[in-house]
């Protein structure tokens, strides 16, 4: 090879690595920038009172405790709806269904579902759960809507996790005269569970910050009291931010509250992600196959 | 006839087996005697594993495969529609090429199958664990660490655990597919000794690529080539004066 060719290749490589580095850097910068901006503006609003008290004086003072509690219930509800349904679907798709046209169509359907804008889920929830099933605007309706929103993510994560269970585990169990169903229940699912949880929780973190799916199905503009049943409306962090920033009477005056709420929401989402990462790290250490 | 008719526990009759279009076994008829070790030998891809997995219906898991002919276990065709493959596998255990313990404790690896088959009670399970581990000559090495993960054991120990796990189901037949090919010579020797011991209680059918191993451990040997059973006879005969030229070529290492 001529020296110019080598030189040329070297330059190409340098430019390429440079670009890769640059895009990674831009990404980090964007994330860091957003975080820094929110922390700078929101940190002053954070206080013990802010996270433990309901809003006062037409939401221009006080805290956001009902919204934190509401988001917590909605998130737990969403996982309670999405996880069992998602796992069962994934088990069916990977372990039972014969691969063929029907399954292909179902898969395409799931992928489409993942691409549906969240406001469509919100309207579906409104039409189906709130109005038709008469759940009203409630934790139940909101959880169901969010549950369906994260269903494709959970199915995807579960399928991945189930496929990564070594075939030899299944064979070992079946060869002992254990039925397929028991094999899935006792060997395949427990082995896949950490992976399923990690993927699902990451999806949940995103759902916790969604506004559109809950604004018609669960979120209250303002309520100081905490919910006592699943049929109660609740305040929720994303919707509260939306309300403060667009519909309040004193938008400018509540700026610090808005940033404070955003900060709390981000901390919550990052906290949820952290749980997922910790679960993954624990299994990586334990995993030996 | 190679075998004594009244000692036969399982036999194949004119078995053809297809993976989709591909015919992996052609007209295989052979019989296995109870409390004897039968070795299946032959070059890679000749269908040894396929035959072994047919005997406990493990091939059922593969999409698009097809069996012709009969496999009679104690006189009953295990491919009849009303035979439950789960029941067949309970009575015909299997040990795989690569040790495949579950990511559970040693104790739970062994009790997993029996528990689901209805064995309960702490004392019964503990007795079963000790009995199985002793039979697999692993008891002394692990008796103090039964609660530890089976993944911590060495490859040879894991394989003996897998044998113990299969024995805990008290099967009639034990199928072994190259059980020592992933192991060091010392572990291999241990498992060969073990096979010698186990045949007092069980019928063993073993696939191996190791000619010395086949000669050492087995009473009967079947030689396979391209999906056909070429020769089946008493091991000593196969390894001293085989009837077929192909068998001789394979055993003396001229091909394979
Ligand atoms: N699941 C499968 N689908 C399609 N063909 C298969 C499958 N399993 C095995 N075969 C084919 O069937 C033939 C016999 O395979 P088998 O595994 O029984 O051979 P083997 O004698 O055990 O070989 P080895 O000594 O390498 O283990 C081979 O040609 C193989 O390619
Ligand atoms: Mg094989």
Scan for tokens 């440079």, then name that residue: A18
Helix (H) or strand (E) holding A56: strand A55-56
In a domain, B33, yes or no: yes
Torsion over CA: A67, A70, A76, A77 (sign): negative
Question: What pLDDT, on the 0 to 100 scale, is given for residue B144?
Answer: 94
Question: What pLDDT, on the 0 to 100 scale, is given for residue A47?
Answer: 83
How close is the nearest chain A Cα to the Cα of B63, in Å?
A: 9
Residue range(s) defining the domain that contains residue B101: 4-251
d(CA B20, CA B16): 12
Domains and CATH numbers, chain A: 48-286 (1.10.3720.10)
Name the closest-CA residue to atom 9, ligand 1.
B50
B169 CA to centre of ligand 2 in angstroms: 24
**For the CA of B224, the nearest atom of ligand 1:** 21
Low-confidence ranges of chain A (pLDDT < 50): none
Helix (H) or strand (E) holding B234: strand B228-234
Question: What pLDDT, on the 0 to 100 scale, is given for residue B72?
Answer: 95
CA angle A210, A215, A220 (to 5 degrees): 120
Rounded to an integer, what is the distance from CA B158 to the centroid of its chain? Answer: 16
Scan for tokens 């993976």, then name that residue: B19
Residues B200-237 as b or e (16 or more Cβ within 10 Å = b): eebbbbbbbebbebbbbbbebbbbbbebebbbbbebee
**For the CA of B22, the nearest atom of ligand 1:** 5
Closest CA to B256 of B47, B25, B51, B44: B44
Helix A65-91 to helix A189-208 angle (10° resolution) is 140
d(CA B97, CA B109): 18
CB A148 within 8 A of CB A82: yes
d(CA A283, CA A192): 10
Closest CA to B47 of B239, B233, B223, B252: B223
Question: What pLDDT, on the 0 to 100 scale, is given for residue A257?
Answer: 84
* Optimal mutation site among B73, B102, B118, B151, interface A, most CBs of chain A within 10 A: B102
In a domain, B220, yes or no: yes
* Optimal mutation site among A97, A103, A177, A180, interface B, most CBs of chain B within 10 A: A177
How close is the nearest chain B Cα to the Cα of A188, in Å?
A: 10
* Chains A & B: contacts with CB separation below 8 Å: 68
B46 CA to centre of ligand 1 in angstroms: 7
Distances (CA, A) of A159 to A24, A85, A163, A191, A284: 29, 13, 6, 13, 18
Name the closest-CA residue to atom 31, ligand 1.
B45
Closest CA to B113 of A100, A214, A179: A179
In a domain, B256, yes or no: no
pLDDT in tens, A119-141: 999 999 999 999 999 998 899 99
With beta carbons under 8 A apart, name residues in chain A contacting B91. 177
User: Hey, are the CB atoms on B86 and A166 less than 8 Å from each other?
Assistant: no
Q: Which of B87, B89, B102 sits opposite A174 (nearest CB)?
A: B89
When divided into structural domains, chain B yields a total of: 1
d(CA B57, CA B49): 12
User: Hey, are the CB atoms on A186 and B169 less than 8 Å from each other?
Assistant: no
d(CA B223, CA B71): 19
Question: What pLDDT, on the 0 to 100 scale, is given for residue A52?
Answer: 82
Instruction: Annotate B125-173 with DSSP letters as a single string.
Output: HHHHHHHHHHHTT-HHHHTT-TTSBGGGS-HHHHHHHHHHHHHTT--SE
Question: What pLDDT, on the 0 to 100 scale, is given for residue A53?
Answer: 78
CB B26 within 8 A of CB B78: no
Tokens at A87, concatenated: 């796992």
Question: What pLDDT, on the 0 to 100 scale, is given for residue A287?
Answer: 59
Mean pLDDT by 10 residues, chain B (256 residues): 83 95 95 95 94 94 91 93 94 94 94 93 94 91 93 92 95 94 86 90 94 93 95 94 91 74
Question: What pLDDT, on the 0 to 100 scale, is given for residue A289?
Answer: 53
Instruction: Annotate A60-79 with DSSP letters as a single string.
Output: TEE--HHHHHHHHHHHHHHH
Best residue for ligand 1 mutational test, from B44, B45, B53, B182 (most atoms within 8 Å of Cβ): B45
Q: Is A5 an interface residue toward B (CB < 8 Å)?
A: no
Best residue for ligand 1 mutational test, from B16, B17, B18, B19 (most atoms within 8 Å of Cβ): B19
Instruction: Annotate A172-217 with DSSP letters as a single string.
Output: HHHHTT--HHHHIIIIIHHHHHHHHHHHHHHHHHHHHT--HHHHTT
Order of strands across the sheet that contains B92-95: B92-95, B173-177, B203-207, B37-41, B220-225, B228-234
CATH number where B112 lies: 3.40.50.300
Residues with CB under 6 A from ligand 1: B 19, 22, 24, 42, 44-50, 62
Question: What pLDDT, on the 0 to 100 scale, is given for residue A286?
Answer: 67
In a domain, B168, yes or no: yes
Question: What pLDDT, on the 0 to 100 scale, is given for residue B255?
Answer: 63
d(CA A40, CA B84): 68
Residues 184 through 203 of chain A touching chain B, CB cutoff 8 Å = 186-187, 191
């Amino acid at each position: 090879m001529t020296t110019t060719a080598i030189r040329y290749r070297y330059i190409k490589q340098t430019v390429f690595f440079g670009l890769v580095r640059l895009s990674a850097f831009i990404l980090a910068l964007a994330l860091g920038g957003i975080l820094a901006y929110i922390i700078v503006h929101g940190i002053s609003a954070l206080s013990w009172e802010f996270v433990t008290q309901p809003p006062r004086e037409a939401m221009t003072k006080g805290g956001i405790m009902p919204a934190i509690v509401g988001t917590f219930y909605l998130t737990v509800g969403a996982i309670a709806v999405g996880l069992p349904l998602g796992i069962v679907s994934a088990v069916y798709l990977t372990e039972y269904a014969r691969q063929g046209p029907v399954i292909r169509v179902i898969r395409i359907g799931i992928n489409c579902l993942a691409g549906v804008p969240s406001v469509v889920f919100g309207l579906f929830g409104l039409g189906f759960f709130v109005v038709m099933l008469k759940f009203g605007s409630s934790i139940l309706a909101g959880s169901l809507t969010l549950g369906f929103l994260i269903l494709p993510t959970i199915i995807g994560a579960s399928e991945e996790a189930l496929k990564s269970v070594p075939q030899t585990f299944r064979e070992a169990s079946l060869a002992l005269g254990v039925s397929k169903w028991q094999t899935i229940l006792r060997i395949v699912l427990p082995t896949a569970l950490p992976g399923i949880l990690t993927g699902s929780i990451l999806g949940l973190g995103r759902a916790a910050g969604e506004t559109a799916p809950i604004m018609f199905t669960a979120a209250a503009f303002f309520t100081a009291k905490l919910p006592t049943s699943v049929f109660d409306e609740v305040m929720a962090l994303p919707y509260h931010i939306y309300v403060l920033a667009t519909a309040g009477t004193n938008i400018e005056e509540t700026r610090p509250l808005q940033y404070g709420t955003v900060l709390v929401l981000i901390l919550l989402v990052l906290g949820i992600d952290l749980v997922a990462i910790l679960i993954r790290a624990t299994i990586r250490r334990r995993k030996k196959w | 006839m190679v075998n004594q008719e009244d000692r036969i526990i399982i036999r194949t009759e004119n078995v053809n087996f297809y993976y989709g279009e591909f015919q992996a076994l052609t007209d295989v008829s052979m019989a296995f005697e109870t409390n004897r070790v039968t070795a299946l030998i032959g070059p890679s891809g000749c269908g040894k594993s396929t035959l072994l997995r047919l005997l406990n219906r493990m091939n059922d898991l593969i999409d698009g495969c097809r069996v012709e002919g009969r496999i009679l276990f104690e006189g009953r065709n295990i491919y009849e529609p009303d035979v439950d493959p789960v029941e067949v596998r309970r009575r015909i255990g299997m040990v795989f090429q690569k040790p495949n313990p579950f990511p559970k404790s040693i104790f739970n690896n062994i009790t997993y199958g029996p528990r689901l088959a209805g064995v309960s009670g702490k004392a019964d399970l503990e007795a079963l664990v000790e009995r199985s581990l002793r039979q697999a000559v692993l008891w002394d090495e692990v008796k103090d660490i039964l609660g530890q993960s089976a993944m911590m054991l060495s490859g040879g120990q894991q394989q003996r655990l897998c044998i113990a796990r299969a024995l805990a189901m008290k099967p009639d037949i034990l199928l072994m597919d190259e059980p020592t090919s992933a192991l060091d010579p010392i572990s291999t020797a241990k498992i060969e000794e073990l096979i010698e011991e186990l045949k007092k209680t069980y019928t063993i059918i073993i696939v191996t690529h190791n000619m010395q191993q086949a000669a050492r451990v087995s009473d009967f040997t079947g030689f396979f080539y391209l999906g056909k059973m070429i020769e089946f006879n008493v091991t000593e005969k196969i390894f001293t004066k085989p009837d077929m030229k192909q068998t001789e070529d394979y055993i003396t290492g001229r091909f394979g």
